[in-house]
Structure 1
Amino acid sequence: MTTSSDGGGPDRAAGSHVPDGPPAFSFLTTAYKAADTLGRTIDAVLAQTRGDWELVVVDNGNDDAVAAVVEAHRDDARVHLVRQENKGAVGGVRAAAEHATGRYLVVLNADDAVTPDFCARTGEVLDADPGVAAVTCDAVQFVDPGQQLLARTYLQTAGLAEAPEGAVRLGVADIIDGPCPYYSAPIRREVWDALGGMGHDTDAPVVHDLEFWLRAILAGHDVRLIGDRLGLFRLERGSESRPLDPEATEEFERQRELVLRRAADAAADPDAREALDRVLRRLTYQQAIRRARVAFSQGTPRRRAGTSGRPTRSARPPARAPWWSPSGWPPARCRRSTRSSAACRHASPACARATGGRAGRAGGRCDEDPGPGLAPDRVATERLRPARREPLRPPPG
């Protein structure tokens, strides 16, 4: 592992002041094949209105392209580079934390960003109350290319309709049946060290941020949520939190359920248990729908023997022949009839909606009948029997 932190030059953040001494905020950024987006992340940190910060970028894989992006910003002494073999996202965050010197640690992915007032706004809450362990916020969501902003924010997508007023303290039930706190949040160094950091050795690495927040609250730490949109969160299909592969989706949900169950059991709180029950009911319903869709999309149609191999529909069952008694009684009656009389509630014995009407042809049926080929329990009405005919009589006289 190699580090590089020398450099000097003017402060590039407009209007910011760089105080002497150790920084207050340490941004922890791990980059693996992220040269295309890393520059945007570094620029967002450099634009902070509060200047007592440092940025530790871990080149997770010794990628020369990543190192070149960091070197282009090395005229600011607050930007540091750590190079190492690829140790995964968790290993990169841990390496950055080891080199950080700030009071508040902030994980920031190499494809995300923060607004210029991130440090100033969250720092107000942390500096005002030493008992606050961390401050999480909302984030604007976007997609690439072009940083196209989405209509809903991170908290809105997670189901929170209205942003909280002030700095709200979170409980276990709030996280179980609510949004997972946004990951880019300043966390006091002593709290980070006591919990082993975000990304410690865990059996649920895909949801390590969710597990960290639950462990922090269960340990008695004060985690606050503010409704300010201070993050810029890039959505990417196929990521660990938004997998496309059905097996990866199942694994993500398995780990999430494991973490939530563990937290509810440890909390021994009726509210947490009720929150877990609600989440599991929704999860079971969503899993059933998704699995049915996957099974349907992966199913193969039946092939008829003796054909060219092209998939065909199964043969339709033969149409039921209309029946009637020798005397023509009882007259036809639609299945929709709610009366015991011969007349359908559609207005006539032959059903006013039957094809052919009152004087319809034999085998005429109500328009409600979708026709032959469907199972009887799917048919709303049955074929009507032919209308009764009076015998021919000779004319009088």
Structure 2
Amino acid sequence: MENTLVSIILPTYNRASFLGKALESVLAQTYVHWECIIIDDGSTDDTVDVIARYDDSRFIYLYQDNQGVSSARNSGIKVCNGGIMALLDSDDEWMPEKLATQLAYMKNHGYEICQTEEIWFRGGKRVNQPKKYAKPEGWFFEASLEMCLISPSCTMFTERAWNDIGPFDTNMPSCEDYDMWLRACLQYPVGLVRENLTVKHGGRPDQLSVCVPCADRYRILALMKILQSQKLDAEQRDTTMSSLRRKVEIYMQGCEKRGKNNEADTVWNLFCMVCDGKKVPLNTLC
């Protein structure tokens, strides 16, 4: 992998005040065989002016009307030239050794998908990660059912893996990464570089985890999708059904507290259909 072209997929939407740091961290990489595809998802701020400051042919700028982060990532991967892809959100950044270290780790251990440890900032202040977010390594599909255990900006994967697990679901305005990594963890072991090579910034109102309501709704959708994929063995199906039931019950309780009984009934009816092995109209939850 020493001379492998790495395609960095960087979607952005109205993040001009953060984008420069992300691009600087790409330029600072000790591994130089990369292209960075910046997908501007309909920004109306100074994003274009920020990008114009970087005169490097390895930066490739694409513009599309606002369609969401899943569409932006898919668009970037569709036109990329590398055999390895690395995701970077426009409000995050990398340590200089990130690409080189991760590539070497994938080569030495034979991983098709790999991530790094990360440093968290919330509201501009460094915070410690709760233990429940500790990243595992290897095969951990069952653990990934409860919460998303892979961070996009930490992740690198091969073209082969993408062809098996992609694309991101453009119908999901939230939890699209949870949905994608469920498929990944079902089919591949995931490597972990135990070094803090990614800096993740959060705690702002413009983030999907904050501005898109009812994220649990989309986690339920992701679990229903994986159950309908017909790729689970009997044990995996039982474990996934148990996780889905817990999430459905919690979600219904929240709906009932807010007086959304019809929504609770809809989710329950879909869950019963999944239990009975019936085809579920998943667009009902989108």
The TM-score bracket by the shorter chain reads: 0.7 to 0.9
- 3-state SS of the aligned residue for 2:198? strand
- 3-state SS of the aligned residue for 1:169? coil
Query: Corresponding residue for 2:143?
Result: 174
Query: Corresponding residue for 1:236?
Result: 203
Query: Equivalent pairs: percent with the same residue?
Result: 20
- 3-state SS of the aligned residue for 1:180? coil
Q: Work out which of the residue numbers 60, 81, 87 in structure 2 matches 1:107.
A: 87
Q: Work out which of the residue numbers 42, 47, 53 in structure 1 matches 2:28.
A: 47
Q: Work out which of the residue numbers 202, 205, 208 in structure 1 matches 2:176.
A: 208
- Kindly indicate which of the two structures has a greater share of residues assigned to helix: 2
1:148 aligns with 2:128: no
TM-score in terms of structure 1 length: 0.56
- Residues in 2 aligned to 1:56 and 1:112: alpha-carbon distance in whole angstroms: 15
Query: Corresponding residue for 1:217?
Result: 185
Following TM superposition, the consecutive aligned residue runs of length 4 or more in structure 1 with deviations greater than 6 angstroms are none
- Residues in 2 aligned to 1:100 and 1:86: alpha-carbon distance in whole angstroms: 20
Tell me how far 1:213 sits from its aligned partner: 1.5
Question: 1:140-173 CA deviation, whole Å, 9 max, x = no partner?
Answer: 11134xx3211x23xx36x145x65xxx212320
Higher mean C-alpha deviation, range 267-276 or range 86-95: 267-276
Query: Corresponding residue for 2:50?
Result: 69
Query: Corresponding residue for 2:63?
Result: 83
- 3-state SS of the aligned residue for 1:267? coil
Question: Unpaired runs of 5+ in structure 1?
Answer: 1-18, 296-397
Contact 2:119 2:198 in 1 (8 A): yes
Q: Structure 2 counterpart of 1:256, which letter?
A: R
Contact 2:133 2:149 in 1 (8 A): no
Given the superposition, is the C-alpha separation of residues 91 and 275 from structure 1 closer, same or farther in structure 2, using an over 3 Å criterion?
closer
Contact 1:172 1:263 in 2 (8 A): no
Given the superposition, is the C-alpha separation of residues 178 and 227 from structure 1 closer, same or farther in structure 2, using an over 3 Å criterion?
farther
1:249 aligns with 2:213: yes
Query: Corresponding residue for 1:8?
Result: none
Which structure is larger by alpha-carbon Rg, 1 or 2? 1
Q: Structure 2 counterpart of 1:190, which letter?
A: R
- Kindly indicate which of the two structures has a greater share of residues assigned to strand: 2
Given the superposition, is the C-alpha separation of residues 64 and 205 from structure 1 closer, same or farther in structure 2, using an over 3 Å criterion?
closer
- Residues in 1 aligned to 2:141 and 2:118: alpha-carbon distance in whole angstroms: 21
Query: Corresponding residue for 1:34?
Result: 15
Q: Which has the higher contact order (CA 8 A, sep 6+)?
A: 2
Q: Structure 2 counterpart of 1:254, which letter?
A: R
